[in-house]
Amino acid sequence: MERILTTELTAHAGERVLLRGWLHRQRRLSRVSFLVLRDRAGVAQVVLSGGQPQSLGPETVLEVEGLAVATPQAPGGAEVHEAAVRVLAEPAAPPPVELHRPQPRESLPTRLDAAAVSLRHPAVRERFRLAARAVAAYRSELDALGFVEIHTPKLVGTATESGATVFRVDYFGRDAFLAQSPQLYKQTMVGVFERVYEIGPVFRAEPHETGRHLAEYVSLDAELAFIRDHRDVIDVLRRVVPAMIEAVGQAPPAEVPVVRFEDVRSGDEPDLSPADERRICAEHGELVFVEGFPTAKRAFYTHPDPERPEWSRGFDLLYRGVEIVTGSQRLHRYEDYRRVLAERGLPEAPFASYLDAFRYGMPPHGGFGFGLARFLAQALGLGNLREVTLFPRDRNRLQP
Amino acid sequence: MERILTTELTAHAGERVLLRGWLHRQRRLSRVSFLVLRDRAGVAQVVLSGGQPQSLGPETVLEVEGLAVATPQAPGGAEVHEAAVRVLAEPAAPPPVELHRPQPRESLPTRLDAAAVSLRHPAVRERFRLAARAVAAYRSELDALGFVEIHTPKLVGTATESGATVFRVDYFGRDAFLAQSPQLYKQTMVGVFERVYEIGPVFRAEPHETGRHLAEYVSLDAELAFIRDHRDVIDVLRRVVPAMIEAVGQAPPAEVPVVRFEDVRSGDEPDLSPADERRICAEHGELVFVEGFPTAKRAFYTHPDPERPEWSRGFDLLYRGVEIVTGSQRLHRYEDYRRVLAERGLPEAPFASYLDAFRYGMPPHGGFGFGLARFLAQALGLGNLREVTLFPRDRNRLQP
């Protein structure tokens, strides 16, 4: 007999069926005993007849054969009767977390320590199914726009963003670093494919122990050539981000306004504070672009506004009061790069192979990058990135 | 006017069009001068009229407006007449490689040093477009089978495969390692989703300087639960690999046989040599599974054949004479893991959080992993993995 999934039970009402999964919960009433079987799709209630194993530990792996019966009061509208239960694998110990409650009750550190089993909680694992859907939506939108997916190295010879948060690797006896972003590579690749994206890990030696920082996260990056200015980059995000919001089961806002940094900052402040980000969303909508940040506050590759070079063509996208995406038009002229490196006191040598991309003819281009977990945390209303990262890494956590 | 791509020129014959791209090649005849413009889609010939810039360096970024004219003898069947050419960005130097020859002529090291520009060669960049298509086919097949895409950490606390080839990272003052594979995490995740896959970088401190080894590569990994044995894993690969072969424009073989290691090895040898792999493909087909390797030669998590435990349920997939995929049924019982770790003299402590996945009930499962570059090199007939890796990393190469 072919195995079916718990969610297919109703469609098989009246038939004998085979289910496989984990013992999610067991309930004994005076005259009858139930078990709830969990598989990758959901859960199903199984009514135990006599002569079946009576004492099974939670998370026992089972195979259940029986009759699918439409039962309006059962979860999902059907349950299994006349069940024969076979144990496929027995747990060696009871799990340190409870998986059958509507939401996990244990503290976050307890759940992270026991990730191997706490991730099985239906409400928790659903977050990661939504993560996969959000990533699929991201790819689907960019594929439709002619972007090519690339894979660039994470072991790099030069710290590219800020030297303070770079991890050092013993690379055959010399120093290498873990890429803090694919920035330099994706810019190089617009010279090849014009439009590229990458989904991959980035690494930040973040000394902060907060809910908003992790030492490793999945970054969604894209870059496109032949733009007029950063507004063309914003137009790509206007397609990508609402599609991701829909993919995780939320309703994207009808309008996504663009406001100017100068118009929304607090007084003369050169950057936005977290309180500013919350205020801007409260005033302008749950998804708001802020453009025109001060050039001096942005990465060296950010293109200034040609009319007023102290203001940049850099922007952020705020979502429900938190910055989730950073992007900009980039510099594209070799001489501009040499000049900004000199102005910022950065040596040219470590950037030599990066500068090559601009030495040999690069069109106007721009792009963006954002953390998958940051997006998910905002979309699902979960405050801590550790709630939406399978095996989070921070200053104190390297296991599991 | 809306920009069109070079490949859309024929469809616009008779119309005025706007193209953007790079000066791929320039040709001057006695009375007329041509330029070939390259964009992300292909190339187009542009006939220059008088009064246009006469001396442009290769890789100059251009905008060309003119009349699309159907011209049977032009490459692609159309060219641009009455062209007005505008320079968008000038190169600072001529490129160190020639991009207009049918195949690159420079040595591999020269091309790798100049990757920022040598990757623009149409024949070279096509390899990476095919790489993206192969990855898309991989995902598409697994999505259709109900697999969920996951992202697991690359910074790990324990070397998981072999201690000899692991990179050490300075992790906030203590030691971390770069993941040599997502093995332990994908097994853990079959306890959550039953079927998972991951596409991401893996890291091997390979001391060898060969065409078949790199220090970092993109690994395609998958794992599935509730299998009978490794043949269920092979069945997944029978869908995935032919789809990838088609995606890169090749014809997959009609049959993919499975042969037994004992039947195809040389004499009593405990493993296959490269010569064996070539011979097996010559005898059995370009895509051949070899099953039943000696348990002692496989990773500790490999499931033995229950009837003859010195032989394993591990297999390789050979493609055109080279092993490209390794897979197996895995052990799934907690006690089995404790036993093999002891038998192999491996300490339990570093694997504690991994063992947790098996402590709390894990179904029979198996999976596979393979390098994207290894697959591509075989499919495209390119001997060196550096030809199919954007920015390869080896003992001596960390730039660009």
Interface with chain A: mutation pick from B111, B119, B398, B399, highest number of A CBs within 10 Å: B398
User: Quick one: pLDDT at residue A50?
Assistant: 67
Cα of B75 to nearest chain A Cα, Å: 20
Q: Establish how many alpha carbons lie within 13 A of residue A368's alpha carbon, considering only the half-sphere containing its beta carbon.
A: 29
- pLDDT range class, residue A54, cuts 50, 70, 90: low
pLDDT at A162 over 70: no
Cα of A266 to nearest chain B Cα, Å: 35
Contact residues on chain A for B170, CB-CB shorter than 8 A: 167-170
As given in the structure block, the two tokens for residue A85 are: 């239960």
Are B398 and A176 within 8 A, CB to CB?
A: yes
Are B193 and A40 within 8 A, CB to CB?
A: yes
Query: Residue A112: what are its φ and ψ, rounded to 5°?
Result: -70, -40
Interface with chain A: mutation pick from B158, B190, B192, highest number of A CBs within 10 Å: B192
Ordered domains of chain B (ranges, CATH) = 6-89 (2.40.50.140), 118-388 (3.30.930.10)
User: Quick one: pLDDT at residue B354?
Assistant: 84
**Distance, CA of B57 to CA of B68 (rounded, Å):** 24
Cα of B378 to nearest chain A Cα, Å: 19
User: Quick one: pLDDT at residue B54?
Assistant: 63
Kindly state the average pLDDT of the residues A331-358: 91
Q: Which of A39, A151, A191 sits opposite B120 (nearest CB)?
A: A191
- pLDDT range class, residue A48, cuts 50, 70, 90: confident
Are B154 and A216 within 8 A, CB to CB?
A: yes
* DSSP state letters, A266-279: STT-SS--HHHHHH
User: Quick one: pLDDT at residue B160?
Assistant: 65
Cα of B31 to nearest chain A Cα, Å: 28
As given in the structure block, the two tokens for residue A376 are: 């998910």
User: Quick one: pLDDT at residue B73?
Assistant: 87
3-state secondary structure B69-118: EECCCCHHHEEEEEEEEEEEECCCCCCCCCCCCCCCCCCHHHHHHCHHHH
Closest CA to A334 of A120, A210, A191: A191
Q: Which of B22, B155, B218 sits opposite A203 (nearest CB)?
A: B155
Neighbours of B16 (CB within 10 A): 12
**Distance, CA of B297 to CA of A219 (rounded, Å):** 37
Q: Which of A157, A167, A185 sits opposite B170 (nearest CB)?
A: A167
Q: Which of A3, A59, A398 sits opposite B157 (nearest CB)?
A: A398
B125 touches chain A (CB under 8 A): yes
Cα of A68 to nearest chain B Cα, Å: 21
**Distance, CA of B120 to CA of B134 (rounded, Å):** 20
**Distance, CA of A18 to CA of B345 (rounded, Å):** 41
B208 touches chain A (CB under 8 A): no
DSSP-derived secondary structure letter, A116: H
User: Quick one: pLDDT at residue B38?
Assistant: 97
Interface with chain A: mutation pick from B177, B355, B360, highest number of A CBs within 10 Å: B360
Q: What is the pTM of this model?
A: 0.96
Are A22 and B218 within 8 A, CB to CB?
A: no
Q: Which of A155, A357, A393 sits opposite B393 (nearest CB)?
A: A155
Nearest chain A residue (CA) to B398: A157
Condensed to tens digits (0 to 9), the pLDDT of residues A106-129 reads 999 999 999 999 999 999 999 999
Closest CA to A19 of A28, A27, A10: A10
Q: Is A320 helix (H, G, I), strand (E, B) or coil?
A: coil
Helices vs strands, H then E, count in chain B: 10, 16
User: Quick one: pLDDT at residue B76?
Assistant: 83
Chains A & B: contacts with CB separation below 8 Å = 258
Q: Which of residues 132-151 of B touch A (CB under 8 A)?
A: 132, 135-136, 143, 146, 148-151
Q: Which of residues 12-31 of B touch A (CB under 8 A)?
A: 20, 22-23
- pLDDT range class, residue A302, cuts 50, 70, 90: very high
As given in the structure block, the two tokens for residue B261 are: 């290691």
Q: Which of residues 41-80 of B touch A (CB under 8 A)?
A: 57, 59-61
Reading chain B (400 residues) residue by residue, the pLDDT tens digits are 899 999 999 999 999 999 999 999 998 877 788 999 999 999 999 998 766 566 789 999 999 999 999 999 888 899 999 999 999 999 999 999 999 999 999 999 999 999 999 999 999 999 999 999 999 999 999 999 999 999 999 999 987 666 679 999 999 999 999 999 999 999 999 999 999 999 999 999 988 888 899 999 999 999 999 999 999 999 999 999 999 999 999 999 999 999 999 999 999 999 999 999 999 999 999 999 999 999 999 999 999 999 999 999 999 999 999 999 999 999 999 999 999 999 999 888 888 878 888 999 999 999 999 999 999 999 999 989 999 999 999 999 998 9
Neighbours of A239 (CB within 10 A): 14
- pLDDT range class, residue A350, cuts 50, 70, 90: confident
Contact residues on chain A for B350, CB-CB shorter than 8 A: none
Q: Pick A101 or B27 by higher pLDDT.
A: A101
Contact residues on chain B for A303, CB-CB shorter than 8 A: none
Are A154 and B216 within 8 A, CB to CB?
A: yes
Task: Please report, rounded to a whole number, the percentage of residues in chain A having pLDDT higher than 90.
Answer: 86
A172 touches chain B (CB under 8 A): yes
Q: Which of residues 316-345 of B touch A (CB under 8 A)?
A: 332-335
Cα of B282 to nearest chain A Cα, Å: 33
Cα of B355 to nearest chain A Cα, Å: 9
Are B363 and A88 within 8 A, CB to CB?
A: yes
Q: Which of A113, A194, A359 sits opposite B92 (nearest CB)?
A: A359
Condensed to tens digits (0 to 9), the pLDDT of residues A176-227 reads 999 999 999 999 999 999 999 999 999 999 888 888 999 999 999 999 999 9
B169 touches chain A (CB under 8 A): yes
Condensed to tens digits (0 to 9), the pLDDT of residues A14-43 reads 999 999 999 999 988 777 889 999 999 999
